[in-house]
Chain A
Amino acid sequence: MRFVTSHWIFSALLAAITIIVPVLNLAVPEGSALHIPTYAVSLFGKYLAFALLALAVDLIWGYCGILSLGHGAFFALGGYAMGMYLMRQIGDRGVYGNAELPDFMVFLNWQELPWYWYGFDNFFFAMAMVMLVPGLLAFIFGWFAFRSRVSGVYLSIITQAMTFALMLAFFRNDMGFGGNNGLTDFKELLGFDLRSQGMRAALFIASGGALLAGFLICRVIVTSKLGKILIGIRDAESRTRFLGYRVEHYKVFVFTVSAVMAGIAGALYVPQVGIINPGEFAPANSIEIVVWVALGGRGTLIGAIMGAVLVNMAKSYFTAAFPEIWLFALGGLFIAVTLFLPRGILGGISGSLNMLSARSRS
């Protein structure tokens, strides 16, 4: 009972933040103490996109025991799909003024648009790709991996190899995704200026909404019968298989859902930071996501969201104030969490709460 209420409270809180922050930004005059500056709106929007990504990782790691060290790849693929749409929106306002080709293609002396760029002028097609591309990759990858029962550490290492391979591929100029500069210099989204205050607020609302939707979907999944089987797979995979469940089907399903969520997170992230480049595929990024989840508490959903926001707020602060210390702090966090908080902040708190209530009851 207590658990059900806590998740409704959290949803309400999230919804409230999604509405209040843009209101404080748009409606409250600039001099007021309650005013939230536009840059902060984008910054928080970015945190929300990361939170959605962390949620995706928690769904598979926390509830199904799949530790993916390549989730940054799905995030980046979604981001690239969004970036391609934004590139097409630039039209002839690029440096070279070529209406047909993005700047980097003109620079590389390309004559025509590669086939895989077709259709990205259309917003809805691009949004479909945001979900389809990561989803399809995850489906194929998961299909092969889970069917041959690659699990545990081996799976972690091959997901890492996957994102590493994609990073190398996207660094290549002839891939047609802008090489190491990536995609940038975006102008507008759906005809609205990306830099305008209204657009920023809209993106924040979209991020908040997507996070809320993602949270509720994950809740539905993990509390359903399906979720029970996932937890069964996490805790005793062989036993679940012997009970007659097709473990690989469940794993592929949840892995694909998670990749789609990561792709959407990437699509929300790109317009708010204004750039996507192959660095997002770096294996280090994917590992960092896992730490957000571990810090917040794996297998709690809410914890993943909190972990993502907390770590990224700390990162924004440290990299600006003490850039030297940031890696020490992050590295120390990894070690401290695994050694002293194996269930994360939230897991630790709820654990001690449960103990207290159990004690008072007895």
Chain B
Amino acid sequence: MLRRLLLPLLLLFASPAFADQTAELLEGLKAKSYAAKIAVVEKLAASGDARVVAPLTAMLNGRLHIRKSDGLIVVLEKKDGKRRFLNALTGEPLGPAKSRSSKKIRVNNRLRGVLRGALGSLTLFSTDPAQRLNAAQSMFKSAGADSLPALAKAYLNETNDGVREALARTLAAARLRHGTDEEKLAAAHILADYPDRGVRDLLAKTAQTAKGDLLVAVKQADASIEQRLAFFDILQNLFQGLSLGSVLLLAAIGLAITFGVMGVINMAHGEMVMLGAYTTHVVQVVMQQYYPGAITQSLLLSIPAAFLIAGLFGVFLERSVIRFLYGRPLETLLATWGLSLMLQQFVRSIFGPTNREVIAPSWMSGAIEITGGLVLTNNRICIIIFAVLVFLVLTLLIRYTDFGLRMRAVTQNRAMADAVGIRSSWVDALTFGLGSGVAGLAGVALSQIDNVSPNLGQGYIIDSFLVVVFGGVGNLWGTLVGALSLGMANKFLEPYAGAVLGKILILVLVILFIQKRPRGLFALKGRAAEA
């Protein structure tokens, strides 16, 4: 701990002693050839002088210039549209800069790599763990033989676990390249524990020149990494499949109610999803206007709002159009399709044809990185959880509440339900409202991962129908299984067939599946199936 604090101090105090030397070295950057510049940068990095960080960073960003008037190396700073020169080493302002009064020191890609490495080794001993981590990672590709001691020292002194891991990886990489034979062998074994593409590239490059024991070790490390990467790939696919499946589930579950339970083919279902997404947008705009402090909660507030708006609209739709069309499923299809066209145009007239922005709350952005190969984004995780919640609530609602009981009664035998005093027409309206409301909820979730545009619903309607038909009509569990299996199949086919071809394959597979089981995975049996 003490050493870690002392080191930068030492560097700081040591600097004036060789100030002249550093300044002299810096002059070397005026060289024409890139090779000469690289040599100078490496020497600057080796000097350990903390002041060279500023000019080297500037050089990497193309802001290190040579002033034409006196040939001084300066940093060009642009701030609030004003340009001024700074002394390269001390950072003291040298007055405003006119355009064309200086010449940029040019860098190429190779030089950029060297610069990153040099800056890395200079910041290895920074007090900020984030900077040290950055340095350790940036040096992975570039660390040369001369930075080995610095890396080893940094590794020994490191107390932060994350940085220590990154340092171990970088140190092993540097040793594999420049260490003694024993060090190389040990490094190959260590690297086997870091399954990512960077390490694999390095191992592949080493394998070309390695001989004997080292070659065996490198091959072993590579094989073990390949195995792990393949495993991560499967995990990643699993996660993405789960994520796509939950999106499909959200989009389809409302349809499973209106289509599955009521037999109404609601082609405007996608537009209910769209209404939910636009409700999210409107809630956000209103919150921004009146309660800007609570903007992160706007998404939570959108959930009941979208459910209510889409649900009320569903009830209105059922009362005004759909109830006249019961028993004529194909006509319902046409009427609701017409409705979906009108809704699209309606939203387009109000909000315009362009995408609307929905801000993601801070707790939904970002990602969890399990290891190098496996990243789970927070918004996807949230959507999976949300989908599961919606599914659970719906199942419980249908299974255990009074309304659910009435709903099932009407579905199973309308005449009998009427006879025992259930007002079946009201149950119809409420059921349709429930299905539409759930579609609205799907809209809230989709607003986080898709463009909120008038065409939002169109992209999901065919998929939703396939999910419901695939899973079996009239069965929420079927919808769950259908959505998850279609989502998984899609994501596992994607790497082999590409996104579009994978989707086509899925469509063909579902079409073939329906030939085999015309009533879906979980078909209703007995009299209910005849209806």
Q: With A154-B514, A158-B514, A283-B462 in contact, is A334–B345 under 8 Å at CB?
A: no
> Is B301's CB within 8 Å of the partner chain A?
no
Enumerate B302-327 residues with CB–CB distance to A below 8 Å: 321, 324-325
Chain A stretch 315-347: residues in CB contact (< 8 A) with chain B: 324, 326-328, 330-335, 337-339, 342
A153 to B343, CA, bound (A): 23
Q: Which residue of A lies closest to B332 (CB)?
A: A338
Contacts of B325 in A (CB 8 A): 338-339
Report the Cα distance A164→B466, complex, angstroms: 12
Contact partners of A339 in chain B: CB under 8 A: 321, 324-325, 335
Q: Report the minimum CB–CB distance from A95 to chain B (whole Å).
A: 27
Complex partner residue of B335 from A67, A149, A334, CB under 8 angstroms: A334
Q: Give the number of residues in B that approach A within 8 Å (Cβ atoms).
A: 43
In the bound complex, do residue A160 and residue B465 qualify as a contact, i.e. CB atoms below 8 Å apart?
A: yes
Binary contact track B419-433/A, C-beta < 8 Å → 1, others 0: 000000000000000
User: Residue B339 contacts which of A156, A290, A334 (CB distance < 8 angstroms)?
Assistant: A334
B residues within 8 A CB of A294? Answer: 331, 334
Q: Which residues of A contact B466 (CB under 8 A)?
A: 157, 161
Q: How far is the CA of A251 from the CA of B449 in the complex (A)?
A: 43
Q: Is B510 an interface residue (CB 8 A)?
A: yes
From the candidates A153, A161, A164, name the one contacting B330 in the complex (CB within 8 A). A153
Chain B at the A interface: mostly helix, strand, loop or mixed?
helix
B344 contacts partner chain A, Cβ-Cβ < 8 Å: yes
Which residues B497-516 have CB closer than 8 A to chain A?
Answer: 500-501, 503-504, 507-508, 510-512, 514-516
A172–B500 contact, CB under 8 A? yes
Interface string of A53-72 (1 = CB under 8 A from B): 00000000000000100000
A44 within 8 A of partner (CB): no
Is B481 in the interface zone, CB < 8 Å from A?
no
Q: CA separation between A332 and B438, bound complex, in Å?
A: 25
- The distance in angstroms between the C-alpha atoms of A152 and B332, with both chains bound, is 13
B504 touches A169 (CB 8 A): yes
**A145 in contact (CB, < 8 A):** yes
Number of A residues near B (Cβ < 8 Å) is 43
A283 to B461, CA, bound (A): 11
The docked-state distance in angstroms from the alpha carbon of A144 to that of B513 is 11
The verdict on A104 contacting chain B, using a C-beta distance below 8 Å, is: no
CB < 8 Å: which of B334, B340, B345, B510 contacts A161? Answer: B510
14 A–B contacts, CB within 8 A, in A order: A153-B330, A154-B469, A156-B333, A158-B510, A158-B511, A165-B504, A165-B508, A168-B500, A172-B500, A287-B267, A294-B331, A331-B342, A331-B343, A335-B338
Query: Which A residues lie at the B interface, using CB under 8 A?
Result: 67, 144-145, 147-154, 156-158, 160-162, 164-165, 168-169, 171-172, 283-284, 287, 290-291, 294, 324, 326-328, 330-335, 337-339, 342
| New A-B pairs, 16, CB < 8 Å, besides A154-B519, A326-B345, A338-B334 | A67-B333, A148-B516, A150-B515, A153-B329, A161-B507, A162-B511, A164-B462, A165-B503, A287-B267, A290-B334, A327-B342, A328-B341, A328-B345, A332-B338, A338-B331, A342-B328
